[in-house]
Amino acid sequence: MSFDRTPKIAPSILSADFANFGAEIAAVEAQGADWIHVDVMDGHFVPNITFGPTTCAAIRPHIKTVMDVHLMIAPVDPYIQAFADAGADFITAHVEAGPHIHRTLQAIRAAGARPGVALNPGTPATAVAEVLDLVDLVCVMTVNPGFGGQSFIDMTAKIQQLRTMIGDRPIHIEIDGGVAPGTAKSVVDAGADVLVAGSAVFKGGSVHNPGPYGDNIRAIRAAYA
Ligand code: DX5
Ligand code: ZN
């Protein structure tokens, strides 16, 4: 099957009800989510703590689509096997998280998951030039990681540069942070194909009233269609 560069929406469960992840995932998938984005934060690499591999393993059976795990942790390497064993499809590590991103990405592949590499807003596209052949996904952060609901930072030039660097290689470009109907078109036009969205998908809904999740997803899709 050829590589699918059709734009996809990946709701971040950072904006879901943490006491109800299973039902939240089922609800947002039923409302049209393409992937489920799972934000792991350690209170060290980023100034916030979420959860670790045990929670990822617990929610895995509830994900019918793609489990996209974004590690905002340092160090990464000691925990790769645990996140792979938890059933992550993609495991994305930050290029800023340590001195040996090449080794980290090899280790993710060896553990049986698909490697991704993320770049903070202050990190240039060239920082991942030497590891593109090791990854299935490049994540361009359009906020400084750590919290949902922050304002979008324009990274259009970086996205375009990465799109050119990637060429025909089967590598997704994912955008994470501040994605909403008003920002989605610019990132898709620049070359992104996976749009993470937390607050813009989960706002106004709940597991008891999931309709707004679908309305919100359709509003983002309509913005770039
Ligand atoms: C930011 C996280 C994002 C975040 C996006 O640190 O990596 O995935 O949840 O949230 P919104 O879409 O609300 O900016
Ligand atoms: Zn994320």
| pLDDT in the model for residue 1 | 59
Which token pair is 82?
């645990």
**Ligand 1 atom nearest to CA at 41:** 6
Q: Has 176 been annotated as catalytic?
A: yes
Which token pair is 7?
């734009």
Q: Has 42 been annotated as catalytic?
A: no
Closest CA to 136 of 97, 100, 91: 91
What's at 5, amino acid-wise? R
| pLDDT in the model for residue 112 | 98
Task: Delineate the domains of the chain, giving CATH numbers in brackets.
Answer: 8-224 (3.20.20.70)
| Positions in the chain short of pLDDT 50 | none
β-pair type (8-11, 67-72): unpaired
Per-residue model confidence as pLDDT tens digits over 136-161: 999 999 999 999 999 999 999 999 99
Cβ atoms within 10 Å, residue 71: 26
- CA nearest ligand 1 atom 2, residue: 145
| pLDDT in the model for residue 199 | 98
| pLDDT in the model for residue 29 | 98
Cα separation, 194 vs 41, whole angstroms? 21
Per-residue model confidence as pLDDT tens digits over 43-80: 999 999 999 999 999 999 999 999 999 999 999 999 99
The verdict on the CB of residue 146 being under 6 Å from ligand 1 is: yes
The verdict on the CB of residue 11 being under 6 Å from ligand 1 is: no
